A and B are shown apart, each in its own frame.
Chain A
Amino acid sequence: MTTSPPIPALVCDHCGQSCLDTRVEALDRLFCCHGCRTVFEILQDNGLTHYYRLEDRPGIRLDNAEEHASRFSYLDDETLQAQLLDFSNGVTATITLRLPQIHCASCVWLLENLRRLEPAVAHSEVDFLRRELAVTYQVDSLSLRRLVERLASIGYEPEITLDATTPKTGFTQDPLLRKIGIAGFCFGNAMLFSLPEYFADPGELNTSWQRLFSGLNLVLALPVLLYSSTDYLRGALRSLSQATTTIDVPIALGIVALFSRSLYEIVSGAGPGYMDSFTGLVFFLLLGKLFQRNSFSALSFERDYRSYFPLAVNVRDGHEEVSVPVSALEPGQRIIARHGELIPADCRLLSTHALLDFSYVTGESDPVEASRGDQVWAGGRVVSGAIELVVLRDVSQSYLTRLWNQDLFHGPATDDLSLLANRFSRWFTAAVVSIAVLTALYWLQADPTIAIHAATSVLIIACPCALALSTPFTTGAAMNLLARVGLYLREGSVVEKLAGISTIVFDKTGTLTSTHHSDVVFAGTDGDLTAAQKLGLAALLSNSVHPLSRKLLDQLPAATSPEVAEYLEAPGLGISGRIDKTSWCVGSRQWLIQNGVPLERIVAGTGSEQLHADDQDPTGATVHIAANSIHLGMYRLGHAYRGGLSQLMAQLRRRYQLMLLSGDNDRERQRLLPLMGDSTQMHFSQSPEQKLATVQRLEQSQSVMMVGDGLNDAGALRGSSVGIAVSEQIAAFSPACDGILDADAIHRLPAILHFARLCLGIVIASFILSLAYNIIGLSFAVRGNLSPLLSAVLMPLSSVSVIAFTAIATRGAARWTGLRP
């Protein structure tokens, strides 16, 4: 049976997944489950089969087809609705829903044709990159709950979490593009009006023309000063009030000197002023800002537990079951959590048995068993049937969420003084100001009429435009290159911080191990299972929904579904049943003993390590198998480590100190040791707060990069110099961090770090380049012959050459480190 001929790919016509396990044939189509069939029928009945023509099998598999019918009943709550809706006037309402399932053009088409499915929908629009759907609908004929249920019925269940009620930071609130537009407009026109002055022979342009052009330039410069350049002026004021110097200070100095000198010249009629240079300066600076800014607006780098926790929970009120917003949950209330739902607060279990997945909280990927009276931490996801719990603490005071009450998460945004440009600007500002003062002093002796002229010229020409541009353009180009290999950074300054780290701290579960694959090892008492035994076992396991059964089933040949008789599932223990003449008993060690199976000594492990029959694993990651009361052996479900880890760690060890902080217990220590190396410190059973404390302690003496994935790493990600969240799905949830790393790209970390160090070198080289321009300009300025034309030429020339240099050098560095072919 194991050598059955290759079967032609049988895939579901809806979702494209394999139909080998179960198969539903209907309407001349093949489906993997009834859920897919239902969705197909809905779409066909509504004339929406074009969905299947745009892309090949675009459907979304409904994993939890038998979901609780009233799980969206909380959406009937009016105060909650008011918080969720973008707009409502009593007749129509608009809501923006997050649909993580959106993945192709078919999705966009179907969701934008939602009105054919629900006539009360007036308009629906998809934002593909943000995975958002904006729906406008008629309130009187369609309720929000019905809308959400409708979306869920076709496979697009909206992700409505606790942070949906917090005000969103919209796109329109960001005025950078508008500032650039206005500065660009003024720059272009000011340059046009300055040209006659530059190209006319002396005396050719009469005074009235001169006055007109410089007057127009003054008018054009005003919006640039008062609107476009405000960020720099405010930034400089802020850092001066904190008695520090950021790059904003010399920039603001240049802006003020340029504008006031030009204003004086124009008003007094002494000259044409430098308004074209001034507007150009601000325009280029803002362009640099745009370039450096996070261009992955679809990714969120600011998420906390609120994006993960549900908005509402089912509370038992007498015999009734009502949906209550999580924020209104009080200790003492009884809640009901069903399969796949999340427990939002610390609770005590009232049901006899529950199976909970705590992978986001503790990092432990195997489900945890709990029995009546056990305390259950917030953040656990129910993977067994419905359970009943009593709330012990408020949501914000729970084990997991307490982490966010720390000051770390509420501190005001401050300028990072460790950044190279800010460190550099400290002595740069001092140098410029002293040169200006010395120039003024010299000319006061030699020729007092041009003292002010020469001193302001120094301030103008020394304005570190090219200097201020070199960092954003280098890091901006680096960010785009890194995004192509799978690392999405929050902002450009992260590249600089990456270059400076000395210690790398790894989380284990989800970071070094894969979330979707587990490593299954069988250890037999008398060799491996026979093919017939495997088939029998698969048939038995296919009756169970226990996650361990599911994982084992993935490893076994597809069951040909023989009858299973006397099937019995004991929660927390195991399953038993009879197939043909074999009675099977599968589960924990205790389950076998209860069924009177004498435990045999397990002879040898087939994996890399010896397994022990007396393995008392509390997490139940071992499954013992017995047939006809004979102990056949056991499966051990371990973590599957990502490929190429030992090579990765060996490369990183050469330059960095490594550390492992795992929320998991230390049973994997022996396996990790050869991977991580002897010099690596490994800490197990770490709570989220302990992880944060360890990282903060390290931060006092060195620069730490934390590589983690779950909410349990949120503190450490925040507390480290650079927090990188590893994600198998870039668009899926990841906690607040400085960068999101595609799990498939984790082996490229050494190259990424090398690239970041090269980028820092490029920034320094471009600093030197722009200093060279400054020295040329200064040599004119101190002599008092800086003409507007020279300024108008030198400033853009230095900026453009610095930008060109950084662009070429960054690409070269990417090629050198192998990040780019």
Chain B
Amino acid sequence: MSALYMLIGCSITVALIFLAAFLWALRSEQYRDTHTPAMRMLFEEESAHDNSHPRDSGEENNT
């Protein structure tokens, strides 16, 4: 039965880690804007389709 003490300790620790993760996400304003990230993920195909203008290539992103 004493194994239960350890298990209880483990379960609380794990739950606390998740609570901390949630509080961190809240603090870093990840819930502020839930719409724009969904639009942003569409932008990746830029260099593949864009060959009309040489300056449109991916390296530009580094500037």
Q: Which residues of A contact B (CB under 8 A)?
A: 44, 46-50, 53-54, 105, 108-109, 112, 115-116, 119, 125-130, 171-172, 177-178, 181-182, 185, 188-189, 192, 212, 216
Contacts and interface: CB of A to CB of B under 8 A. Distances in A.
20 contacts: A47-B56, A50-B46, A50-B50, A54-B42, A105-B39, A105-B42, A108-B39, A108-B43, A116-B63, A126-B36, A127-B36, A128-B35, A128-B36, A128-B39, A172-B27, A181-B22, A181-B26, A185-B19, A185-B22, A188-B15
B63 to A, nearest CB: 7
Nearest to B16: A185
B41 to A, nearest CB: 10
B36 A177 contact: no
A50 B31 CA distance: 29
Nearest to A189: B15
A271 B51 CA distance: 75
A171 B8 CA distance: 36
A34 B33 CA distance: 36
Contacts of B10: none
Residue in B26, B31, B49 with the greatest tally of chain A CB atoms within 10 Å: B26
| Those 5 A-B pairs whose CB atoms lie nearest each other, nearest first | A47-B55, A128-B36, A185-B19, A127-B33, A171-B32
A125 to B, nearest CB: 8
Nearest to B4: A209
A46 B43 CA distance: 17
Contacts of A119: 63
A116 B60 contact: yes
B3 to A, nearest CB: 13
Interface in B43-59: 43, 46, 49-50, 52-53, 55-56
Given A49-B52, A128-B35, 5 more contacts: A47-B53, A109-B43, A127-B33, A128-B39, A182-B19
Contacts of B39: 105, 108, 128
A778 to B, nearest CB: 35
B55 A108 contact: no
B47 to A, nearest CB: 9
Contacts of A53: 49-50
Given A47-B60, A119-B63, A128-B36, A178 B23 contact: yes
A172 B30 CA distance: 10
Contact of A44 (B35, B49, B53): B53
A148 B21 CA distance: 37
A126 to B, nearest CB: 6
Contacts of A188: 15
Interface string B4-30: 000010011001001100110011010
A105 B8 CA distance: 49
Contacts of A126: 36
A50 B61 CA distance: 13
Contacts of B22: 181, 185
Task: Name B's interface SS.
Answer: helix
Residue in B19, B33, B46, B56 with the greatest tally of chain A CB atoms within 10 Å: B33
A181 B52 CA distance: 50
Given A128-B35, A177-B31, A192-B11, A50 B56 contact: yes
Contacts of B50: 49-50, 53
Nearest to B36: A128
Contacts of A112: 40
B56 A49 contact: yes
A105 B42 CA distance: 8
A105 B37 CA distance: 11
B26 A177 contact: yes
A129 B35 contact: yes
Contacts of B11: 189, 192
Contacts of A49: 50, 52-53, 56
Contact of A181 (B19, B32, B56): B19
A119 B63 CA distance: 8
A116 B46 CA distance: 14
B44 to A, nearest CB: 11
A125 B31 CA distance: 15
Contacts of A54: 42-43
Contact of A189 (B12, B31, B46, B60): B12
Contact of B15 (A177, A178, A185): A185
A125 B23 CA distance: 23
A28 to B, nearest CB: 11
Contacts of B35: 128-129
A115 B63 contact: yes
A172 B42 CA distance: 28
A165 to B, nearest CB: 22
Given A50-B46, A189-B12, A127 B32 contact: yes
B33 A130 contact: yes
Contacts of B63: 115-116, 119
Contacts of A50: 46, 49-50, 56
A127 B38 CA distance: 11
Nearest to A46: B55
Contacts of B55: 46-47
A127 B31 CA distance: 12
A503 B36 CA distance: 41
A91 B42 CA distance: 33
Nearest to A45: B55
A128 B49 contact: no
A753 B42 CA distance: 40
Contacts of A44: 53
Contacts of A172: 27, 29
Nearest to A178: B26
Contacts of B26: 177-178, 181
Contacts of A128: 33, 35-36, 39
Nearest to A115: B63
Contacts of B15: 185, 188-189
Contacts of A127: 32-33, 36
Nearest to A130: B33
A182 B20 CA distance: 10
B27 to A, nearest CB: 7
B60 to A, nearest CB: 6
Residue in B12, B29, B36, B53 with the greatest tally of chain A CB atoms within 10 Å: B36
Nearest to B19: A185
Contacts of B56: 47-50
A733 to B, nearest CB: 21
Given A171-B29, A177-B26, A108 B53 contact: no
